[in-house]
A and B are shown apart, each in its own frame.
Chain A
């Protein structure tokens, strides 16, 4: 057991070292924004007025802040889910599907129990969302743990399945039949019961209960991963499956549970998308990202920028939420399409992961989940940090 705890202490120290070089993350954002300015210039737009519009649109005034916070909440949850999965060395790119399933499960619950009061219905609905996403995360988790089916394959396929199931349900069994059917039925549910709507916390804004809920959940997950024995097991499994197995940990179950929790987070995000929405229904247009708005991928960016830590992800989510909300203002002000923001996100990711190398040149730190660096031999670092690999391979009792 001391082997694993020794490795964890080192991992902890590495993380701290990463955080100490705190400028790496904002640096990547700055570089990405500079490249974005170049892109805008090349397209004939004024970057200064563009970015100004973006910042104003995202952060100026309570209304904008509310919109940013509302955009950030599902992103935060997806990011938290990514953090959990990554700790167990599982790459969850199934966020899109888990968001959809969470949305469906929560909508179905609300439609089935319309007469419950808010105090009961809202928690139920959120739990249902989490459960829906959890199921959709458990499947690839179990596949990987018990059948060794690669999670990248299964999550990609399940994303596709989820979107079509959602399309079918929203246009079929769950469709709002009270619509005027002369023009066919739009794929959306009936108006969800008013008692299930997430209450607005600040008048004249969009800021709803989902925002603090997401933040509380993020803190909760942080506690789960870094302060409980379960979290300890998750990290251990992520570091070294073999060492954990020798230490008597239930590796397969832990891995599956980590993916399940990851899915649950995304599912909860899906519930927020539905019950915090303006239209108070679950609706899509049939396209792959018609419901999620690519939050399943944006959440990965948020997690990365949050150093794969649920707490820092709160800041990161707010930032990227602002970027996305501001993107629309950017489009209206300069004519530069909001796709610019997607491209910027990509650049941020590329720079963050690239800059990590630069940092690694000078210190023995690692952003990647510990298990993945096993092929990396010890570097000449400060003697106070015995490398992860050596720690994992020593077989003490």
Chain B
């Protein structure tokens, strides 16, 4: 155990944790925006898979990472249109339609992968960007300031989304649509359009999350996300629909994974307990949820399609 508490290992573990947390954070932030407007999207995992494949395929064909990321984001946007259409315009049962999108994304992404990609080669991944000066701070520097650009983006989005939700008119409309759509409607808010926007933002971020995950791994495979999208949705509840809370949840989850891997590597966790240790992230999340005071409640209109008329 003493090995673990060395400077180098701790730094590396935290750095890995933040890198792991980024895709969760991106997807969860997007889902937060959507859920604050009253729309729950369980198809995040499927969207992440589709965009991860799109990113991978583009990178494979063009070699241009930036373009590939754009394609990933674009895939998220397209799926956002689909999701918004189903959930907001068609007012479908949101939880279930999300599962439909998930299954579609899971099957279709792998279908395309098997058929279009002959020999799966790893693509070039993002290089870490060391932030000058800051990265030389002892300990902290190595942990926080040597990540890739998508990781920085993910964490930067936290204050941005917070600002968006709490301090802009747009954000206010989103919150109104999620809390009391009838009242919002009566003061002239176009609930459907706001929810469309929120879902689009959410799914676009999910697309970015898929791209981020793909670039972390460097290659696509069937079910690349391994339910990460669902975890991201769960983290929204954990974070009480607040970006800061969601960030806390993502980092906690990423840290749990990183620490478990590190302890396995150092032999602190023996092989026989290896699988049990893998439950740590989920168990920690559940326990944290139970012990933290549940003062926050969900957006009142979450999951309920809105129809004007009364």
Q: Which residues of A contact B (CB under 8 A)?
A: 39, 43-44, 91, 93, 143, 147-150, 152-154, 156-161, 164-165, 167-168, 171-172, 288, 297, 300-301, 304, 336-337, 339-350, 353-354, 356-357, 360, 367-368, 372-379
In the complex, chain B residues whose CB is within 8 Å of the CB of A345: 100, 103-104, 107
Contacts A341-B107, A378-B309 given; does A356 touch B93 at CB 8 Å: yes
From residue 34 to 65 of chain B, which have CB atoms closer than 8 A to chain A? 40, 42, 46
Tell me the minimal C-beta distance from B243 to chain A in angstroms.
Answer: 17
A-B CB contact pairs (8 Å), 25 listed: A39-B108, A91-B95, A149-B289, A153-B289, A156-B233, A157-B283, A159-B227, A160-B281, A161-B279, A164-B276, A164-B279, A167-B278, A168-B273, A300-B96, A337-B114, A340-B111, A342-B104, A346-B46, A346-B99, A347-B100, A349-B103, A357-B92, A368-B93, A372-B303, A375-B181
Q: Is B238 an interface residue (CB 8 A)?
A: yes
Range class of the B interface residue count: 35 or more
Tell me the minimal C-beta distance from A135 to chain B in angstroms.
Answer: 15
Map CB proximity to A onto B215-240 as digits: 1 under 8 Å, 0 otherwise. 00000001100110011011001100
Are B238 and A343 neighbours in the complex by a CB distance under 8 Å? no
In the complex, chain A residues whose CB is within 8 Å of the CB of B104: 342-343, 345-347, 350
Map CB proximity to A onto B274-298 as digits: 1 under 8 Å, 0 otherwise. 1110110111011001100010011
Tell me the minimal C-beta distance from A98 to chain B in angstroms.
Answer: 15
CA gap between A192 and B116 in the complex, in Å: 43
CA gap between A374 and B285 in the complex, in Å: 31
CA gap between A272 and B286 in the complex, in Å: 29
Question: A149-B294, A297-B102, A356-B93 given. 9 additional CB < 8 A pairs?
Answer: A93-B230, A156-B230, A168-B274, A301-B99, A301-B103, A337-B111, A339-B110, A346-B107, A377-B307
Task: Look across to chain A and name the residue whose beta carbon is closest to the beta carbon of B283.
Answer: A161
CA gap between A368 and B95 in the complex, in Å: 10
In the complex, chain B residues whose CB is within 8 Å of the CB of A373: 304
Contacts A346-B46, A346-B106 given; does A43 touch B96 at CB 8 Å: no
From residue 92 to 128 of chain B, which have CB atoms closer than 8 A to chain A? 92-93, 95-97, 99-108, 110-111, 114-115
Contacts A160-B282, A346-B101, A375-B182 given; does A339 touch B227 at CB 8 Å: no
Contacts A150-B237, A343-B108 given; does A372 touch B93 at CB 8 Å: yes
CA gap between A375 and B107 in the complex, in Å: 34
Are A149 and B290 neighbours in the complex by a CB distance under 8 Å? yes
Task: Look across to chain B and name the residue whose beta carbon is closest to the beta carbon of A149.
Answer: B289
CA gap between A367 and B227 in the complex, in Å: 27
Tell me the minimal C-beta distance from B295 to chain A in angstroms.
Answer: 11
CA gap between A347 and B305 in the complex, in Å: 21
CA gap between A167 and B226 in the complex, in Å: 16
Map CB proximity to A onto B248-284 as digits: 1 under 8 Å, 0 otherwise. 0000000000000000000000001111101101110
Are B233 and A152 neighbours in the complex by a CB distance under 8 Å? yes
Q: Which residues of B contact A (CB under 8 A)?
A: 40, 42, 46, 86, 90-93, 95-97, 99-108, 110-111, 114-115, 181-182, 222-223, 226-227, 230-231, 233-234, 237-238, 272-276, 278-279, 281-283, 285-286, 289-290, 294, 297-298, 301, 303-310
Are B237 and A152 neighbours in the complex by a CB distance under 8 Å? yes
In the complex, chain A residues whose CB is within 8 Å of the CB of B231: 156-157, 160
Contacts A168-B275, A337-B110 given; does A157 touch B282 at CB 8 Å: yes
Q: Specify which of B92, B233, B238 is in contact with A356 (CB 8 Å cutoff).
A: B92
Are B275 and A343 neighbours in the complex by a CB distance under 8 Å? no
Are A43 and B111 neighbours in the complex by a CB distance under 8 Å? yes
In the complex, chain B residues whose CB is within 8 Å of the CB of A379: 307, 309
Tell me the minimal C-beta distance from A18 to chain B in angstroms.
Answer: 13
Tell me the interface secondary structure of chain B in the complex: helix
Q: Specify which of B107, B181, B182, B289 is in contact with A339 (CB 8 Å cutoff).
A: B107
Report the tally of A-B residue pairs with Cβ distances under 8 A: 186
Are B304 and A375 neighbours in the complex by a CB distance under 8 Å? yes
Are B279 and A337 neighbours in the complex by a CB distance under 8 Å? no
CA gap between A153 and B105 in the complex, in Å: 21
In the complex, chain B residues whose CB is within 8 Å of the CB of A147: 290, 294
CA gap between A339 and B103 in the complex, in Å: 10
In the complex, chain A residues whose CB is within 8 Å of the CB of B303: 372
Task: Look across to chain A and name the residue whose beta carbon is closest to the beta carbon of B281.
Answer: A160
Are B289 and A354 neighbours in the complex by a CB distance under 8 Å? no
CA gap between A374 and B307 in the complex, in Å: 11
Q: Specify which of B92, B111, B238, B278 is in contact with A39 (CB 8 Å cutoff).
A: B111
Tell me the minimal C-beta distance from A55 to chain B in angstroms.
Answer: 19
Are A374 and B96 neighbours in the complex by a CB distance under 8 Å? no
CA gap between A344 and B108 in the complex, in Å: 9
CA gap between A148 and B222 in the complex, in Å: 35
Are B222 and A339 neighbours in the complex by a CB distance under 8 Å? yes
Are A343 and B100 neighbours in the complex by a CB distance under 8 Å? no
Are A172 and B272 neighbours in the complex by a CB distance under 8 Å? yes
CA gap between A353 and B88 in the complex, in Å: 12
Q: Specify which of A44, A172, A367, A377 is in contact with B93 (CB 8 Å cutoff).
A: A367
Are B100 and A346 neighbours in the complex by a CB distance under 8 Å? yes
In the complex, chain A residues whose CB is within 8 Å of the CB of B281: 160
In the complex, chain A residues whose CB is within 8 Å of the CB of B110: 337, 339, 342
Task: Look across to chain A and name the residue whose beta carbon is closest to the beta carbon of B287.
Answer: A157
CA gap between A301 and B105 in the complex, in Å: 15
CA gap between A76 and B197 in the complex, in Å: 38
Q: Which 9 residue pairs across A and B have the least CB separation, nearest first?
A: A346-B104, A349-B100, A377-B310, A342-B107, A343-B107, A346-B103, A168-B275, A353-B92, A167-B275
Q: Specify which of A288, A353, A378 is in contact with B96 (CB 8 Å cutoff).
A: A353
Contacts A372-B93, A375-B181 given; does A353 touch B278 at CB 8 Å: no
In the complex, chain B residues whose CB is within 8 Å of the CB of A167: 275, 278
Are B115 and A300 neighbours in the complex by a CB distance under 8 Å? no
CA gap between A350 and B75 in the complex, in Å: 18
